[in-house]
Structure 1
Amino acid sequence: MSDLTLILLAAGNSVRFGQSIKKQWLRIGHKPLWQFVADNFKQSNNFCKIIVVSSKDDIPFMQNYASYTFVSGGETRQESLKNALKEVESSYVLVSDIARACITSEMLQRIVSQKSKADVVVPYLPVSDTVVYENSTIDREKVKLIQTPQLSKTSILKSALDTNQTFTDESSAIVTNGGTRVFVLGDKNAHKITFVEDLHKIPCLSAPSGDTLSGNGFDVHAFDEKGDMWLGGIKIESEFGFKAHSDGDVALHSLIDALLGAAGMGDIGMMFPDNDERYKDIDSKKLLEHVVEKINNFGFSIINVDITIAAQQPRIGKYKTKMREVISEILGIDMARVNIKATTTEKLGFIGRAEGVGVLANANLKYFNYKEIG
C-alpha cells in the first residue's frame, strides 16, 4: 500500500488573475482545472489519499465532480496546508498548487524517487539570465527557481509548520526547522498560473468544451394582502404582495433556479434556505446578483434567459421592458438576450382564480473561454 498522500491547494481567491472566474474553475473540456490536475496526479502515481483544499463555499459544488477528500482552506496558503495535514496519516506527503497544472509523470517520478534522501525533495529550474540582487550581480549558478510539487516527510513538515512564522513553500519551513533538503530538476512546462497571461505558457491545457448548458426553473407564490408586489426585479402596481420568506419575486426565483440548474449547482432552497433569517424580506435582486457572481466564479458565462410569467392578474405587459432592463444589467448580458413572456391560464386553476402567480424560466450557459483572451 502506498505511504504517500497528495495535497492539492486550491483555496485562493485568484485576485491577481484579473478575471471574474476563479482560476481553479477554468475548464479543460468539461473538467474544472482542479479536477484536471487531481486526475492527472492520480493517473501518474498510486497515492493512498488525495486531498483537495478549497474555500468552504466551493466544496459542496466540488463534491458533484469527484470523490476526493475535500478540506476547507485558511486565510493563507500555509494555514490551508496545516488544515490538510490534519487529514494525513501516511509517512510522506506531496504538496502542490492547483495553479501549477502541467506536472508530467516524469517530473513526478524524479521527485518520488528521492524521498529517502532528505526530509524534503524540491524541484527547481536553473537560471540562465544574469541575476542582480539589489545592486550586486550574483552567481547565477547558485540561484534556483523553486517549483512544486514538493515531497516531505509528514512528521517533519507538521513540526516545521508549528510556528507563527510564514513560509512561501514547504522546503523553507523544513530547512529553517533544521531539516534537510535535496533538489531535483523540475520542468519549465510546470509553470504556475498567477496572471491571465500565464495561460499562454501552459502547454497541456486544451480549450473548454463549446457545449451549451441548459437549465429550467419553476416557482409559484400565492398572493398576500400585505406588502408590495415585486416581480421581475421591479415594483408592480397591485393591491397584493406575495407570501414568501423574501420579497417573493417569483420571476427572479424561477430564474435563479434555471441558472443554478444549467450550472449543476442545486437550487435556490439549497443556496438560500427559507429558515435562514439572513434572507427574511430580502430583495431578490440581491439573491440573483449573488448567484450570477458565483456562476461566473465557477467558470460559466450566461448566454440568454427566457421567462414565462403566468398570471391572471396583474397585467404585466407594460412592465416587460423594464424587467428586461433590470435583469439584463444583473446578468451582464444584452437586453436582447433576456426574453419576458406573459400568459394567463384561461381562468383555470389557482392562477386562473387570481390566487397567485407561476413562472417558468429557462437559462443557457457556456464555459468561460480563456483561449480567447489576447
Structure 2
Amino acid sequence: MRPKVAAVIVAAGSGSRFGGSPKQYRYLDGLPIVRAAIATFASHENIDHIQPVIRSGDSEIFARSLSGIETLPAVPGGATRQASVRAGLEALAALKPDIVLVHDAARPFATAELITNAIAAAQTFGAAVPGLQVVDTVKVVGEDDLVIDTPDRSRLRTVQTPQAFRFAPLLDAHRRAADEGRDGFTDDSALAEWAGLRVNIFEGERSNVKITTPDDLPDSRASKAALTDVRTATGFDVHCFEDGDHVWLGGVRIPHEKKLSGHSDADVVLHALTDALLGAITDGDIGSHFPPSDEQWRGASSDRFLAFAAERVRQRGGVITLLDATLLCEAPRVGPHRDAMRARIAEIAGITADRVAIKATTMEQLGFIGRREGIAAMATATVRLPESK
C-alpha cells in the first residue's frame, strides 16, 4: 500500500540577504520562485498534501503567486526556520501522513525524480536527506583566520531539500526541541540527529541550487546583458482629500486627519508608478486597464495595479531596474514611512528595495496642494527589454 505523503514548503523568509525583498516572490523565467518550487510537488503523483508556510501578511501575494495550484491553506511561520517547519508539521498533524518532505521555497529546481527518491529513502531509512559530495577542499579556521584543520572531503556532503522523514518521529523531535528551548537548528536533519534519529544521505542534484542572493539567479547576469533596449517613462497622479483617518501611500497605511478620495484606495504613489511602468512598455495607462467605470475596482487595493504592470514587463521578457517616486504634499510627513514604502513597493513589483526611491517635497503652501486639499505624485520607471527583431 502506498504511503500517504505530505510536503511542507517553507516560504516564510524575509529576504534579508536578497535586498530586503522576499526572494520567494521574485520572478524566474516568468514565474514566481515559490510557484516554481511548489508546482513540481503539486504535479507529483505520490504527493497527497502540500502545506505551505508563509510570512504573516503575505497571504495575498502568496495566493496571487500560486493562482491555479491547489494546496492546503497556508499557515504563518515563526521567527526561525525551525519554528516555521514546526508550524507546518503541526498543521498536518490531523491528516496523519506517513511521510513528510520538508522543502525550501527558495529551491525552485528540484525535479520529480528527486522527490521520488526522497520518498523512497524515507520509506527505507526513516530519515534521509539529499546530499552532494564536496568537490572543493574545505578548511576549518580558528582565531585570526588561522587554518586549524583540513577535513577529508571524501567524507563531507553538502545537503539540500527536500529532506524526507517518517512524519510522527519528526513532529515529536520538533515538539521536544521546542519544549527544551532548542531553537538554533537551521536544518531538519540536524534536529533529527539531535533527537537520536539515524539520518541517511541519498544523491542530490547539482541543479537543485538554493537562491539566497540576486547573484544566485541563473539568469541574473546573462539575461540582463541581453536586455539592451533601455526605456524610461513617467507617471503622474493626484487625488483630493475627504473625511477619513488615514491615507494609503506607497502601499503603506499612514494615519492622517483626512483620506484621499478615489475609485480605488487612491494611492497616488502606486498609481503613478503603475502608469510609469505601463508607459515604458507602451501598454496604455492605468485607466485603460482598470477603468473607474468598472465597479470591480471600487475600493480596490492599488498593489494589484502595480503588480499587474510589473507582470506585463516580465511578460515582455524585461526587468525593472528602477522605480522612483516623488510625493507632493504638505502632510503627512513621508520621512518616517519612507523605508516601509520602499520595501512594500519592492515586494509588489518583485524587485529589491535598493531599486526603489521615494522622495517628498512640499509646495510651499502654494496651490491646492499647498492649501492641503490633496496629494500628488510623480514617478519614473526604468526597464530593460530585449531588442525587438
Band the TM-score falls in, shorter-chain normalisation: 0.5 to 0.7
Give the share of equivalent positions with the same residue, in percent: 22
Q: Judging changes above 3 Å, is the alpha-carbon distance between structure 1 residues 266 and 259 closer, same or farther for their aligned structure 2 residues?
A: farther
Q: Is the 8 A contact 2:28 2:217 kept in 1?
A: no
Q: Which of 170, 177, 197 does residue 195 from structure 2 map onto? A: 177
Q: Which residue matches 1:296?
A: 346
Q: Which residue matches 1:315?
A: none
Q: Judging changes above 3 Å, is the alpha-carbon distance between structure 1 residues 120 and 287 closer, same or farther for their aligned structure 2 residues?
A: same
Q: Which residue matches 1:75?
A: 79
Question: What amino acid does structure 1 have at the position aligned with 2:74?
Answer: F
Deviation per residue, 1:123-149 (Å, 9 max, x gap): 000122333334233322211111111
Q: Judging changes above 3 Å, is the alpha-carbon distance between structure 1 residues 114 and 40 closer, same or farther for their aligned structure 2 residues?
A: same
Q: Is the 8 A contact 1:27 1:33 kept in 2?
A: yes
Q: Structure 2 matches for 1:94-243, cutoff 5 A?
A: 94-134=101-141, 135-162=148-175, 163=177, 164-165=181-182, 166-200=184-218, 219-222=239-242
Q: Which residue matches 2:56?
A: 56
Deviation per residue, 1:143-189 (Å, 9 max, x gap): 11111110111111111112122222111211221212221100111
Q: Is the 8 A contact 1:85 1:158 kept in 2?
A: yes
Distance in 1, Cα, partners of 2:224 & 2:47: 26
Q: Which residue matches 1:26?
A: 26
Q: Which moved more, 1:39-48 or 1:287-296?
A: 287-296
| Structure whose CA Rg is larger | 1
Distance in 1, Cα, partners of 2:235 & 2:3: 42
Q: Which moved more, 1:27-36 or 1:293-302?
A: 293-302
Distance in 1, Cα, partners of 2:384 & 2:54: 20
Q: Is the 8 A contact 1:300 1:365 kept in 2?
A: no
TM (norm. structure 1) is 0.63
Between Structure 1 and Structure 2, how many residues are aligned? 298
Question: What is the SS of the residue equivalent to 2:202?
Answer: strand
Question: What amino acid does structure 1 have at the position aligned with 2:159?
Answer: I
Deviation per residue, 1:286-314 (Å, 9 max, x gap): 66763442120244469xxxxxxxxxxxx
Distance in 1, Cα, partners of 2:220 & 2:351: 23
Distance in 2, Cα, partners of 1:46 & 1:331: 52
List alignment gaps of at least 5 residues for structure 1: 225-229, 234-243, 271-280, 303-327, 336-342, 345-355
Deviation per residue, 1:16-43 (Å, 9 max, x gap): 22x2432112113543211121112212
Q: Is the 8 A contact 1:126 1:145 kept in 2?
A: yes
Q: Is the 8 A contact 2:12 2:53 kept in 1?
A: yes
CA RMSD for the aligned pairs? 4.8
Q: Is the 8 A contact 1:9 1:52 kept in 2?
A: yes
Distance in 2, Cα, partners of 1:218 & 1:202: 36
TM (norm. structure 2) is 0.61
Distance in 1, Cα, partners of 2:7 & 2:382: 31
Question: What is the SS of the residue equivalent to 2:101?
Answer: strand
